[in-house]
Amino acid sequence: MEYLVEFALFSGKTLIVVGGIMAVMITLAILIAKGKGQKPSLDVEDLTKKFRKYKELLEDEVLTNKELKAVRKERKKREAEEEKSVKSLPKVFVIDFEGDIKASAVEQMQDEITAILSMAEKTDEVVFRLESPGGMVHSYGFAAAQMLRIREQQIPLTVCVDKVAASGGYMMACTANKIIAAPFAILGSIGVLAQVPNLHRLLKKNNIDYEEIKAGEYKRTISLLGEITDKGREKFMEQIEDTHKLFKEFVGENRQSLEIAAVATGETWYGSQALAKGLIDKIQTSDQYLLERSTDHKVIKISMKPKKSVVDKLTESASLLIERSLEKLLTKPLF
């Protein structure tokens, strides 16, 4: 009897596995079919309506019936007037950018900017809510170049920093016509840093040979495993200084009122200090700025949903399928 029970359990598990594999294969076929010709997904959120909704909910709770009746009458009148003129209202397009060391969100940001520039006018404004401690030079250089596209179209660009815009983050921020920051936001770090651990002495101590073959004297100046020479170190330092020079020139071109020598030391400053240094133009949080703009602008948040690959979708589907199969196996009685 025990043998039969075990066989029955084994058979049941086998059916689950086989059935699971078939379901995954079917899911894969469906996802591949759906993936063909897949278009990017653009989310558009009307923040003006969102802010107004908050106010209305609060009014409903705190006002007396008489006060509420008068407010609603006035609101209805205002909305009717706005309905006639809403198309003529200037717009504020909002983009959120949260940067990591590789500025991974730059491709998504690129599409968002392209979408905005397809219809934005010179009377409109683009607001970046920017948060980044910086990262790779080429990645953040590309991100800053994308933001300059807005300036080139002569559309006002504002950057709001609530927490941090340092190093590459400040490189992006300085492209704006106006930089706004919270009192304790961290800004600056106009400098360049390179850290390369070197294991050459450890290899030498353990009698491990390492050869680095290159064509071109400065193809590689400092490496992880090779010996660091004085000449290589000197050249590497020269490259770092050149990068710093380009960084300073970029910031200086975009914020000409800055005394660049005084701020390009690699130091960071809090918002109120940054204001005194000329790194920013105003102390204010992003939510307050957008709330103020919503009184006479239509504030719209734009976000491009990243497309998931077929592999990502398949992994999610397979995980969900296995989870449900195990749940059924564990919760159902065995006999």
Instruction: Return the pLDDT at 12.
Output: 47
Work out the burial of residue 266: count CB atoms within 10 Å of its CB; fewer than 13 is exposed, 13-18 middle, 19 or more buried.
middle
* Topology given in CATH for the domain delimited by 41-186+267-304: 2-enoyl-CoA Hydratase; Chain A, domain 1 (3.90.226)
Of 104, 111, 157, which Cα lies nearest the Cα of 132? Answer: 104
Residue scoring higher pLDDT (285 or 22):
285
Check residues 97 and 31 and name the one with the higher pLDDT.
97
Question: Could you confirm whether 189 is annotated as catalytic?
Answer: no
**pLDDT computed for residue 75 by the predictor:** 75
Could you give the dihedral angle defined by the CA atoms of residues 241, 247, 250 and 254, in that order, rounded to the nearest 10 degrees? Answer: -140
Distances (CA, A) of 123 to 45, 154, 165: 20, 9, 27
Kindly tell me if the per-residue pLDDT of 13 is higher than 70.
no
Q: What is the mean pLDDT of residues 202-224?
A: 86
Q: Given 132, 139, 167, 189, which residue is catalytic? A: 167
Asked whether the predicted pLDDT for residue 15 surpasses 60, the reply is: no
Examine the pLDDT at 22 and tell me if it is beyond 60.
Answer: no
Q: Which pLDDT tens digit goes with each residue over 78-132?
A: 767 666 665 678 999 999 999 999 999 999 999 999 999 999 999 999 999 999 9
Question: Is the pLDDT at 36 greater than 90, yes or no?
Answer: no
AA identity, residue 226: G
Predicted confidence (pLDDT) at residue 280 exceeds the cutoff of 90: yes
The structure's pTM equals 0.75
pLDDT at 330 over 60: no
Q: Break the chain into its structural domains and give their ranges.
A: 2-38+310-331, 41-186+267-304, 190-254
Would the pLDDT of 134 be above 60?
A: yes
Please compute the mean of the pLDDT values over residues 126-147 and round it to a whole number.
Answer: 96
Could you give the percent of the chain with pLDDT greater than 90?
52
Encode pLDDT of 290-318 as tens digits.
999 998 899 999 998 766 666 655 666 66
Q: Residues 36, 39, 66, 219: which is the catalytic one?
A: 219
Averaged pLDDT for residues 261-266: 95
Residue 85: CB atoms within 10 Å: 8
Rounded CA separation 202/92 (Å): 57
pLDDT category of residue 259 using cuts at 50, 70 and 90: very high
Active-site residue 167, yes or no?
yes
Whether residue 324 is predicted with pLDDT greater than 80 in this model: the reply is: no
